[in-house]
């Protein structure tokens, strides 16, 4: 997908204002072409057939409610299309669901719309990604008394979480963020504690002890 031809983007989102904003963002772009979209996930077959997108943006909350009916593997196979998930959920479950179920990645709606351009380009080039945004918070840890406690991630912890969800090793995280391996290990432990998990396996399965 190195040339600009055929980089078609379609959008399924309940809000016409969101669809318009995304379309306006893409229209002046030299290599990405907004081909249309729809408001309901039930229209996905029509959108894929008529617009033949290379990348399809789906509203996470809408898809999650109907994921049993529209598995991402089916959408991928039906249109040979890469999926970008976009949503307002600040629960890490959204990011986990998106990656685990076959999307190229997840973009939180608190991110500037320009992040979608990077997401579309990454999807087209076969790369996974997460854009969690400033408002992305997490989930739960447990106090000594056993009561659930909401806990926010720092900006650095968000970076670590993103890389963990993308299945990066501690060594790869250290290299990418220019940190020592011990520092990364410390951050990973904090992220696990705040997410209410004890291992990468639990994190990737979405086994959060959320409040």
pLDDT in tens, the chain (211 residues): 334 455 999 999 999 999 999 999 998 888 899 999 999 999 998 999 999 999 999 999 999 999 888 888 887 766 689 999 999 887 777 888 888 888 998 999 888 888 999 999 999 998 888 887 766 654 433 333 333 334 567 888 888 988 888 889 999 999 999 999 999 999 999 988 877 788 888 887 765 554 3
Q: Which helix (H) or strand (E) holds 18?
A: helix 16-26
- The pLDDT assigned to 146 comes to 38
- The pLDDT assigned to 149 comes to 36
Nearest CA to 177 out of 166, 197, 163, 196 is that of 163
Cα distance between residue 46 and residue 192, in whole Å: 42
Residues of the chain with CATH 3.40.50.2300: 8-131
Please state whether the predicted TM-score (pTM) of the whole model is above 0.85: no
Q: What fold characterizes domain 8-131?
A: Rossmann fold (3.40.50)
Coil, strand or helix at 70: coil
CB-based contact 56:79 (threshold 8 Å): yes
Residues of the chain with CATH 1.10.10.10: 138-205
Pick the CATH number of 138-205 from 1.10.10.10, 2.60.120.380, 3.60.15.10, 1.10.10.60: 1.10.10.10
Eight-class DSSP state of 24: H
């Amino acid at each position: 997908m190195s040339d600009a031809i055929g980089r078609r983007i379609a959008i399924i989102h309940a809000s016409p204002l969101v669809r318009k904003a995304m379309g306006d963002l893409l229209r002046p772009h030299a290599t990405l072409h907004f081909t249309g979209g729809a408001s309901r996930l039930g229209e996905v077959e029509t959108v894929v057939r008529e617009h033949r997108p290379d990348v399809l943006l789906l509203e996470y909350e809408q898809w999650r409610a109907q994921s049993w009916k529209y598995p991402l593997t089916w959408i991928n196979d039906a249109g040979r299309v890469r999926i970008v998930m976009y949503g307002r959920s600040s629960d890490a479950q959204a990011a986990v669901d998106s990656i685990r179920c076959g999307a190229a990645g997840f973009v939180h709606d608190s991110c500037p719309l320009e992040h979608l351009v990077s997401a579309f380009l990454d999807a087209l080039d076969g790369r996974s990604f997460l854009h969690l945004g400033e408002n992305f918070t997490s989930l739960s840890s447990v106090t000594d008394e056993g009561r659930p406690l909401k806990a926010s991630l720092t900006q650095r912890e968000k970076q670590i979480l993103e890389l963990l969800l993308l299945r990066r090793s501690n060594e790869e995280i250290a290299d990418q963020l220019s940190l020592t391996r011990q520092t990364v290990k410390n951050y990973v432990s904090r992220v696990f504690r705040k997410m209410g998990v004890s291992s990468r396996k639990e994190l990737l399965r979405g086994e959060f002890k959320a409040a």
